[in-house]
């Protein structure tokens, strides 16, 4: 498991089949620009999740959009709504960031591929 997720192990090991869980196997599957904001989200969720009812399944970029897959195992509808609202706010925030550097970014289309890059990172990508 990726080092920056060790703090949130309880969110992964609650899953009955955690050794096959994508987040256990691959960690956070996105560029480095999103990682600080994702860890901020996980910090907030761990403070909110006092009853340890969140199971993380996968955190990744798909079609240049942030995806956060989890399961809430509790029964408190208000708590679930608060968790969903925080995830939605952070999803909106992350989707405005460059996946490589974290600066403000737009969706970039290149040869059929989608990227969430700022102009500088897109230029660097083209020079490779």
pLDDT digits (tens, 9 = 90+) for 12-40: 776 566 667 788 778 899 999 999 999 99
Question: Per residue in 52-75, pLDDT tens?
Answer: 899 998 999 999 999 999 999 999
Residue 106's alpha-carbon distances to 10, 39, 102, 116, in angstroms, are 34, 22, 11, 6
Under the banding of pLDDT at 50, 70 and 90, the label for residue 1 is very low
* Residue 124 in this model has a pLDDT that exceeds 70: yes
**Other residues' Cβ atoms within 10 Å of the Cβ of residue 83:** 20
Euclidean distance between CA atoms 69 and 128, whole angstroms: 32
Q: Is the pTM of this model over 0.95?
A: no
Nearest CA-CA partner of 56 in 110, 17, 99, 101: 17
**Other residues' Cβ atoms within 10 Å of the Cβ of residue 29:** 15
Question: In this predicted structure, what is the pLDDT of residue 74?
Answer: 92
């Amino acid at each position: 498991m990726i080092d920056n997720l060790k703090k949130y192990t309880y969110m992964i090991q609650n899953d009955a089949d955690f050794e096959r869980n994508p987040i256990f196997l691959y960690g956070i599957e996105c560029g480095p620009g999103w990682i600080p904001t994702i860890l901020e989200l996980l910090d907030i969720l761990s403070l909110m999740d006092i009853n340890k009812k969140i199971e993380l399944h996968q955190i990744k970029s798909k079609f240049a959009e942030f995806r956060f897959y989890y399961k809430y195992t509790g029964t408190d509808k208000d708590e679930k709504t608060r968790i969903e609202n925080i995830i939605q706010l952070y999803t909106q925030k992350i989707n405005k960031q460059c996946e490589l550097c974290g600066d403000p970014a737009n969706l970039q289309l290149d040869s059929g591929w989608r990227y969430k890059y700022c102009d500088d990172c897109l230029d660097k990508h083209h020079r490779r």
